[in-house]
Amino acid sequence: DHAMNGTRYHAYSGLVGGYLVRDPRERELALPTSAADGEILLVLQDRNLDVVDGELRLLHKITTDTAESFGPLTLVDGTLWPRLPLRPMVYRLRLLNASNARTYRLHLVTARKDADGTVVVTPQHDRVLVIGTGGGLLWRAWRLGDDQALTVASSDRIDVLVDLTDLPDGEQLLLVNSAQAPFDGAPPPPLDSLLTNGDRPGRNPYPWVLRLDIDDDAPTRGASRALFTNTAAAVLNPAFRRLVRDEHQPARIDEPEQFPITAPDQRTILLAETTPPGHLYLHEIVEDPAGEITIQFPGDANPMTYRVEGWMAGDPAGSSSRVSFYDRVALRPRVGQWQVWRFVNTTGDTHPMHIHQSQFQPLNSTGSRLVVTDAGGTNLYNPETRKTSAPLVPDTQNPPRTFQPSEVNGWNDVIRVDPGNVVEVAVRFDIPGRYVYHCHILEHEDTEMMRPFVVTVTDMHDGAMAMGHMSG
């Protein structure tokens, strides 16, 4: 459902749910595939609840300092901060972030008070084995280190095994969130600070998500530790190939076999925010010697000039730029043709970009990063004039985001693009039709941070009309 200006309300009101698609490989790996053998679906949502005159009310948004809805309370499967009794066994948890806008950075921890009352938080991340995403099983599982966490943006799906086999009856593990909102990719605060009293910054007043209570007599059975160790050692998805630009090279023992993409069609999309804040758009740009957008991407010898597709430099009145959702279609990939879509985030927030009718991979193990603001914090790209006040050049001071193993060793249909970051994804479409791509923060999508594209069976002229918001 992509009804303009209504999607955020529909999802917030309850139009969400998990839909599990099975792979025969799951049975071959003896993975749990039902609640009876330890598979548990966990749908995460943040909510704003208020009690007035004894009646519980669901409030979408009451703050005026942000465009997004960030509820202070986290619900799992519709329950506030639930307690899940589990035996000391191995369980398969299927996590879906169904929040409108909130990104979760999830940590599995124990928390105990020492002699002076200080809360001591101990990560238990090595108990977590990531085995899949929304695109299916990973090539190999990713076992988290204590300095790692699960970052899941709006609409992300993560498939994990959690090993509880050595825990005593009565032990408690907490799943807590360290991500501030809006999320910008900043590192987490010290975990101890999350569970102490006092103000917590970044619209994350209550970091608690879920408590796992170890109970020898819990009704939900799991699997033995052998499942965890065997899955950690196995190639889960033998058919997976890592997409690369360069010529095929033999894969190392710790890497999947590579698949070089040939003659891809390269497209560049700027993620932009206009005045007043909260009005976000996708600007599809093309190279043009007369363009007034200047960017030097990593690998470019010199800055190049671009213009927004359809925007004629010096002749705004004669332009038909591809900015609004209702503007003409600019992206017209052919069936079976490799595409490289390059997202450039000129805003201050992370955007989870979602492409319909696709599964894709990011190229390389990291993105790249550009300087997108001046020393005073003003954006160098003005989306209203479609001009840069100074070239966007590689940022040599701040590193780009390193992709999670679940992003590079599996297929996804959502990718996080942090502020200033450049993320390239390789994608190929196999079904003709009219589709959309958009930021999956619903309040952004609803304000036209969404554009149409048409998958064709042959080259298509530049006359494709816009599509209604209910299509795709």
- Choosing from 189, 217, 233, the residue where a domain stops is 233
Q: Which of 165, 198, 233 is the last residue of a domain?
A: 233
Any idea which of 12-16, 150-154, 384-388 has the lowest mean pLDDT?
Answer: 12-16
**Which class for 359: exposed (0-12), middle (13-18), buried (19 or more C-beta within 10 A)?**
middle
pLDDT in the model for residue 259: 93
Half-sphere exposure of 26 (CA within 13 A, CB side): 17
Point out which residues pair with 176 in neighbouring strands.
107, 208
What is the model's pLDDT at position 114? 85
Do 216 and 98 have their domain in common? yes
| Statement: residue 464 has pLDDT above 80 | no
438-451 as b/e: b if 16+ CB within 10 A: bbbbbbbbbbbbbb
Percent of the chain with pLDDT over 90: 69
Q: What is the pLDDT of residues 222-237, one digit of tens each?
A: 999 999 999 999 999 9
* Domain of residue 180, residue span: 7-233
pLDDT digits (tens, 9 = 90+) for 170-204: 999 999 999 999 999 998 888 887 777 666 777 88
Cis? peptide before 182, omega within 30° of 0: yes
Is 467 inside a domain boundary? no
Residue 269 lies in a domain: yes
Same domain, 138 and 272: no
> In whole numbers, what is the pLDDT of the chain averaged over residues?
89
Give the pLDDT confidence of 56-75 residue by residue, as tens digits.
Answer: 566 666 566 667 888 889 99
19-48 average pLDDT score: 95
Same domain, 185 and 293: no
Rounded average pLDDT over 432-443: 95
pLDDT tens per residue across span 281-328: 999 999 999 999 999 999 899 999 999 987 655 555 555 667 788 888
**Residue 470 placed within a domain:** no
Does 437 score more than 80 pLDDT?
Answer: yes
Q: Is residue 385 in a domain?
A: yes
Pair (177, 304) in one structural domain: no
Tell me the per-residue pLDDT of 316-368, one tens digit each, with 9 for 90 and over: 555 566 778 888 899 999 999 999 999 999 999 999 999 999 999 999 989 99
Whole-prediction pTM: 0.92
Return the pLDDT at 472.
Answer: 43
In this prediction, residue 67 carries a pLDDT of: 78
Quick check: 467 pLDDT over 90? no
- 342 with 305, same domain? yes
pLDDT-derived band at 250, boundaries 50, 70, 90:
low
Q: Is residue 65 part of a domain?
A: yes
Residues 214 and 317 in one domain: no
Do 101 and 152 share a domain, yes or no?
A: yes
**415 falls within a domain:** yes
Q: Is pLDDT above 80 for 50?
A: no
Distance of CA 19 to the CA centre of its chain: 18
* pLDDT confidence of residue 425: 98
Q: Do 293 and 253 meet the contact criterion of CB atoms below 8 Å apart?
A: no
pLDDT confidence bin for 471, thresholds 50/70/90: very low
Among 21, 107, 130, 29, which residue's Cα sits nearest to residue 409?
130
107 in the same domain as 14 = yes
Residue where the block lists tokens 């009219």: 434
| Same domain membership, residue 55 and residue 192 | yes
- Do 204 and 286 fall within a single domain? no
Same domain, 209 and 270: no
Beta-bridge partner residues of 151: 105
236/80 Cα distance (integer angstroms): 34
The answer as to whether 248 is a domain residue is no
Share of the chain above pLDDT 70, in %: 88
Report if residue 431 sits inside a domain.
Answer: yes
Domains in the chain, number: 2
Beta bridge partner(s), residue 122 = 110
**Same domain, residue pair 70 and 173:** yes
Q: Residue 341 sits in a domain of what CATH number?
A: 2.60.40.420
86 contacts 218 by C-beta, under 8 angstroms: yes
